[in-house]
Each structure stands twice: as C-alpha cells, then as structure tokens.
Amino acid sequence: MSSSGGWLGTFPVGNSPEGIAIDADGNILVANFDGTISKLSSLGVPLDTFNIGGQPWGIAVNMDGTIWITDRSGSNTVSKLSSLGASLGTFTVGDTPWGIAVDADGNVWVTNYFNNSVSKLNSSGNSFGPYPVGRHPSGIAVDKEGNIWVANNGYSSGNSTVSKLSSLGAWLGTFPVGNSPQGIAVDAENNVWVANSGSNTVSKLSSLGNPLNTISVGNRPTSFGDFTGFALQYFVLGRR
C-alpha cells in the first residue's frame, strides 16, 4: 500500500508468512513459517528464496544487511544470514523466541515467549541476559534513545502490558495497554504504538509510557515486524 493507503499490489511469498523486514536497499524480507525466507525487490519482484528450515517467525535486518530470524520450531534459536542468504550461525536464546529487533549498535533483541524474558545478542551472537519482562512477551522494538519496548501478550491472564528496558536490560517501567498486545513499534517522534489483538485497538504511548490515544481498528491487529518504518530509517539507513 502507498503512504496514503492506496493499493499497490499483492505478491506471492512462501507458505504462512509471519514476519517482515526491509533492508537498506529497500528489498523486502519475509519470514515464512514453511522454513523459508522470501526476498523481494521494492517493487515486489521475487529476488530469491532462502531455505533455512525450522519455523521462521520474527525477522530483522541491520545496517550491513545481515538478517536475523527467530525459530518457532522448538529449537529455541535465532538464525543469522548474510544478505545473500548464506548461513552465518545459529544461536541459542530462551524458550520459544518470538519477536526480534536490532538496535543502532547492531545488537539483537529477542522476546522469549514462555520464559517471560528478553535475550540480547551482540553482532557476533554472544548472549546477554535474559532480562525479565511481562507475561508472554511478543513484539519488540527499539526507540532512538536505545531503549527496548516489549509487548506482553498476557495470554488471557489480564496482564496486558508494555515493558520498557534500558539498552543494558535494566527495567524502566511497565505500562497498561489494550487486551493481548502483540505488535509494537516506535515512530520518528519516539511515540510507541501497540497493536492489541484482543481488543481490536492500537494504543499510542509517549516515550515516557503515558497514554496518548487508543484507536479502534480491524479484527485482531498484530505485527511482529516494524510497522512504522522507524527501524528502517534509524537503524538500517542510519538516519539518527
């Protein structure tokens, strides 16, 4: 879709696409639950398919084009690929890695859904943490100050919150949002947007976690990618 909401096209990828990311050249990378990664041009032209196995879920890309993918198959790992799809390693994280984000320093942040935690990997795959967050963390995003924001799904527990961590993993706050938040992103003004799949709403928070707005949207909104483009502009293209 265009920035004004106009329809531009529909493009085939693998079976059950889950996560999506954009690299510095504008190429689109899609994590397909069938064990593949689809790479498309900015016009939607298929460029390649990478067979990585497992059950890819979340996907992120850093400034040099390195691709990071969470695996939902039970391996509790994150895969690292070159921009051409070559395997650069597999790294162990917590139980059922879900969302993934890359910060400005190339560190990778992963939500561990059943550990109620977040893992941090440096660009070499060395692990730090895990850092505790809320119940069943799903989406994850990084703001331009390097803070980490996590959507805690709650899984019908009523604990539907967003956690904020420092770049070192220190707890900075927990903030209520709508029911069953899954997707989360940060915009250019450092506001935080949360897709609440259980209440069909999107919550907008300030950088301090103060509620700014709640918007009614369609049925079960969710995203495990960066749905505002902030990560592309600030962490991939380096426009900070």
**Which tens digits make up the pLDDT trace of 53-85?**
999 999 999 989 999 999 999 999 999 999 999
Average pLDDT rounded to a whole number, residues 213-221:
78
* Per-residue pLDDT at 240: 47
Confidence of residue 29 (pLDDT cuts 50, 70, 90): very high
**CA–CA distances in Å: residue 151 to residues 41, 53, 54, 76, 133:** 30, 27, 24, 19, 9
- Check residue 20 and give its pLDDT: 92
235 or 134, which is more confident = 134
Cα-Cα-Cα-Cα dihedral sign, residues 208, 22, 83, 110: positive
If you average pLDDT over every residue of the chain, what do you get? 89
Q: d(Cα 165, Cα 131) in Å, to the nearest integer?
A: 9
Whether pLDDT at 88 is above 60: yes
In sequence order, which residues have a C-beta less than 8 Å from that of residue 195 and are 6 or more positions away? 139, 151, 181, 182, 183, 184, 202, 217, 221, 222, 223, 227
Model-level pTM? 0.90
Which pLDDT score is estimated for 231? Answer: 61
Average the pLDDT over each of 67-81, 164-178, 207-221 and give the range with the smallest value.
207-221
pLDDT in tens, 110-162: 999 999 999 999 999 999 999 999 999 999 999 999 999 999 998 655 678 99
pLDDT above 70 coverage of the chain, percent: 87
**What is the spatial distance between Cα 86 and Cα 69, in angstroms, rounded to a whole number?**
13
Tell me if 105 sits within 8 A of 92, measured CB to CB: no
